[in-house]
Structure 1
């Protein structure tokens, strides 16, 4: 059962988190192009936002199967698992509280005839928070591979 849970956990991470990290990284450049009046860039920015939003919801499967795997392996109390859980929670908070709302505000401003926000500053913030989100996930991935202090033979 452990191998099954671990397989689903890894596949969910690849399928759900991968698209969010790529879309979050691409959004700022695309939004900047949309600000200059590039119509296809506006449509692309909207699609990238949708990818981030939808796959964020699907991404709930990653920690769910991660917890089930950790319990199955008997490593839930290990430091590397606890740190990974904490970093995953922070990454989710960054995505939900910063990246997605700012992307939505940029898209709303692009649709408005008189943008009420400084889009350049907001897009820069999205680039930064998206980078933090990606760095958090990269750190979790490294912890999952290296598993410092693990006795499971990695």
Structure 2
């Protein structure tokens, strides 16, 4: 049973974290290009936003499956504190995605007019400084990726 859960854990990490990392590291660049009127970048921005949102939510499976792995062999995994640290790091990464990256991406999408009409009507989306917004998303995307790299390293210690 432990092997099956570990395989699911690793597959979830590969299938969900990779696309979200690429999408969050590319979204702000393409959104800034779309802001200047680039229609190709507009399409890419919409796609990267959907990837970030959908795969990002599914990426929560990675720490949840990590916890499940710990419960498959309680005597071993609960004594190994690097696994506890890895779960905390992955939850921090997910919090960065949920509370820092997603809202900023949504603001950019709204400012570009790419959200659904009901979302656009519910709130005014404005960005005064596109350079600052772009650099913030770049920074938080880098933090997201770094936390996952640290998580992977921690799990192999």
TM-score under structure 1 normalisation? Answer: 0.87
Tell me the residue number matched to 1:32: 32
Q: Quote the RMSD (CA, aligned, Å).
A: 1.7
Unaligned runs of 5+ in 2: 115-123
Moved >6 Å (runs of 4+): none
Contact 1:67 1:76 in 2 (8 A): no
Tell me the residue number matched to 1:116: 126
Residue 88 of structure 1 pairs with residue 98 of structure 2: no
Q: Structure 1 residues 115, 6: CA separation in 2 closer, same or farther (over 3 Å shift)?
A: closer
Q: Which of 75, 78, 81 is equivalent to 2:80?
A: 78
Contact 2:93 2:148 in 1 (8 A): yes
Residues 26-65 of structure 1 mapped to structure 2, 5 A cutoff: 26-65=26-65
Residue 134 of structure 1 pairs with residue 136 of structure 2: no
1:61-113 deviation line (CA, Å, top 9, x unaligned)? 2112111112223313422111111111110110000111101101111128x
Q: What secondary structure, in the 3-state scheme, does the structure 1 residue paired with 2:77 have?
A: coil
Unaligned runs of 5+ in 1: 148-154
Q: Is 93-102 or 75-84 further displaced after alignment?
A: 75-84
Q: CA deviation at 1:33?
A: 1.2
Tell me, in whole angstroms, the C-alpha distance in 2 between the residues paired with 1:121 and 1:39. 22
Tell me, in whole angstroms, the C-alpha distance in 1 between the residues paired with 2:113 and 2:39. 11
